[in-house]
Amino acid sequence: MRHAVVRHIRTIATLLLAAALMLSVATARAGPPDWLPKPARGKGEKCVADTGWMRRNHMTALMHQRDATVHEGIHTGRFSLERCIECHAVNGADGKPVTIANPKHFCRTCHDYAAVQIDCFDCHASRPGPKAATTNNAAPERFAKTDAAVLAQYLRSLER
């Protein structure tokens, strides 16, 4: 008798657990929750690197790019801020690309959420403007699979 009750309780618990799991799977399928930032899609087909890599490493890539560009005059364009801005421009109500002052700005969507201040736009233009001919418009290359390999590959490309 006692064993039967324990068995029943076990069955009920298993069923409840299964139901909870199924529910969570269903919620995940419905998409990310509302409170997560939803940055606008870029204009191009794909980004210069995988989205996950860019989320983790865009700041490092931009930092190296800036030194190469300012000090050595290298305009390869792959991690050019100008190019990011061009592709990820978000149009405002007036149909023109918004500046960093607007919370809809591509960079602000995530940076506001993460509470990370960006100083780039104290000096840099935050929306597309007249384009310099040196901007490389070739289709973005794909990266190797692992982040470490990718960063190594990128850093090697700077050592010329």
Partner 1 sequence: MSCRSNSGAGCGRSGECECATATSDAVDNARRTFLRGAAAMTVTTLAAGVTLYGFGAEPAAARATGEKASSKVRWGLLIDASKCSDGCTACVSACQSENGWHDTGHPTTDAQWIRKLTVKDPNTGATFSLPMMCQHCAKPPCVDVCPTGASFRRADGIVLVDKHICIGCRYCMMACPYKARSFIHEPVDDQKPYAPRGRGTVESCTLCVHRVDEGRTPACVEACNDTGGGAMLFGDLNDSSSEIAKRVAAYRTTRIRDDLGTDPGVRYVNI
Q: Is 97 in the site for partner 1 (CB under 8 A)?
A: no
Q: Is 5 in the site for partner 1 (CB under 8 A)?
A: no
Single out the residue of 11, 60, 99, 153 in contact with partner 1 (rule: CB under 8 A): 99
d(Cα 96, Cα 83) in Å, to the nearest integer? Answer: 17
Q: Is 136 in the site for partner 1 (CB under 8 A)?
A: yes
Strand ranges in 22-155 using DSSP code E only, listed in sequence order: none
Q: Which stretch binds partner 1 (CB under 8 A): 19-27, 32-40, 52-60, 129-137?
A: 129-137
Question: What distance lies between CA 10 and its chain's CA centroid?
Answer: 44
Q: Which region, left, alpha or beta, applies to residue 58 given φ > 0 means left and ψ of -120 to 50 means alpha?
A: alpha
Q: Is 123 in the site for partner 1 (CB under 8 A)?
A: yes
In 80-146, alpha helices (H): 81-87, 106-114, 120-123
Per-residue b/e over 118-152, b at no fewer than 16 CB within 10 Å? bebbeeeebbeeeeeeeeeeeebeebeeeeeebbe
- Kindly write out the interface string for residues 54-93 of this chain, putting x where it contacts partner 1 by CB under 8 A and - elsewhere: ------------xx--xxxxxxxx----x--x--------
The tokens 């919620």 sit on which residue?
A: 27
Nearer CB in complex with partner 1: 16/155: 155
Nearer CB in complex with partner 1: 39/97: 97
Single out the residue of 45, 122, 141, 159 in contact with partner 1 (rule: CB under 8 A): 122
Site of interaction with partner 1 (CB under 8 A): 66-67, 70-77, 82, 85, 99, 101, 122-125, 128-134, 136, 160
